[in-house]
Amino acid sequence: MKDLVKIKTALISVYHKEKLDNILDLLNSYNVKLISTGGTKSFIEEKGYKVEAVENLTDYPSILGGRVKTLHPKIFGGILARRDNESDNKHLAEYNIEGIDLVIVDLYPFEETLASGAKEQAVIEKIDIGGISLIRAAAKNFSDVLIVSGRHMYDRLIELLKSNNGSSGISQRKSFAADAFQVSSHYDTAIFNYFNSGNEIKALKISVSEGSVLRYGENPHQQGLFFGDFDAIFDKLHGKEISYNNLLDIDAAVNLISDFNDCTFAILKHNNACGLASREKLSDAWKDALAGDPVSAFGGILISNREVDAGTAKGIDKIFFEAIIAPSYSKDALEILKKKKNRIILVHKETKLPSTLYKSALNGMLVQDKDLKTDTVADMKTVSRKSASAQELTDLEFANILVKHTKSNAIVLAKNKQLVASGVGQTSRVDALQQAILKAKHFKLDLKGAVMASDAFFPFADSVEIAGKEGITAVIQPGGSIRDQESIDYCDKHNMSMVFTGTRHFKH
């Protein structure tokens, strides 16, 4: 490899000491001089390696409780000096500054400290100054210096040293520098977002360090990537590689099921529920969820908020599906479900999902709070003369949760805590309702005594009239139309009940 630089001197200053032993052993074998400070220096000495203290080079001790250790021209001069620059070399000689060829440094755990709920002063003390400066300096001078910006790079460093006999190549140094700037920018983003938690500064800073290349995007001709820590939310037990479209459906499924406390099973297709039921037994919830639309269930995403048992798994095994998600599975259930090698089987861990949504639009980004409002019976205001029965109130609450997670314009028809049918993504509310009625009739599901939920107000009374003629007895909607009274009047004339929630649930 051309442009190899022999590593003669290394500065090591790390917060995390794990996995450093192999690096030290390798550097020692190549007779690399070690420079360090504080706890890292003590660690190196305990391992039996010779190391020079930063304080000996700078003639200054670590001061201000460790806040200032490496911030000195003799350190940064040795890192930033351009080896092919005559003026830089003269300054090195004049001020007796030794060149540094390798910098191994990591950063104080700011994000971890913040996530622990620590008090502000403890969080502030974990804002790294010296480390971030060393990273940026070494990365800037990648032409001559190799920067290792954390434990995640140790394996690559070992491979590099072994393959180059203790030297580094320009392309390798540039690659390591790119990682270093990723580390520093991610760190600064976390700090900025902490200080700007109230959004006083109208700036969007997002940084995700975990990324993976997908087979393709929404369609095979589109490139797709996922940025996020999938393993923090799921344990994947079985199945093929997860696709872009799988991830969208899995996201929709997890958000949907999180709003149900009763034993519930749901089937989703293209981000919408095509079947869902809440029952005392999971096997019954599965059967009634499937009954809502057994055709659309083909190739769908299945999710439950209870452990999947063998009996339920036997029923599930009869259909083709992409993925199943549950908090756990019995041993026998797993044996049944794993019979098909491509089935994706996920264990959903108890994790908190982000409360902010991002969406690219035009040449920018739209940002909004996630719709976390779940309307309960207490939020319902009866506007009709007839009040809903106890069972109808239960079904109205159930249906309204479902409609919140359904693409607009959306109508959901439900009965006895079962999704009877839904109309999704229609350009008019009437079309959504007619789609739902058509589907319910196709699968021979009785609409008499069912309830209807709408994600937004009815601009006219036509939808309520159509629903009433099909036997629907109770309606839930946000209200807010200038013609609300027409819908209320229809309910009063035809012995139907209607409640308003005051909350719209558009989903686009």
Annotated catalytic residues are 140, 270
**Rounded distance, CA 246 to CA 270, Å?**
9
Contact 451, 400 (CB under 8 A): no
Pairing mode, strands 52-53 and 33-36: parallel
The two three-digit tokens of residue 371, written as one number: 């719709």
| Closest to 457 in 3D by CA, of 490, 436, 483 | 483
The two three-digit tokens of residue 203, written as one number: 């700036």
H/E element holding 442?
helix 429-442
**255-273: b or e for each residue (b if 16 or more CB lie within 10 Å)?**
bbbeebeebbbbbbbebbb
Q: Report the SS3 class of residue 453.
A: strand
DSSP secondary structure, 151-166, as one string = GGGHHHHHHHHHHTTS
**Rounded distance, CA 157 to CA 169, Å?**
12
Residue labelled with tokens 């938690």: 197
**Rounded distance, CA 142 to CA 154, Å?**
17
Contact 190, 206 (CB under 8 A): no
Which residues have CB under 8 Å from 115's CB, separation 6+? none
For 377, left (φ over 0), alpha (ψ -120 to 50), or beta? Answer: alpha
**Rounded distance, CA 272 to CA 290, Å?**
14
Residue 480 one-letter amino acid: G
Residue labelled with tokens 């070494």: 138
Distance of CA 365 to the CA centre of its chain: 17
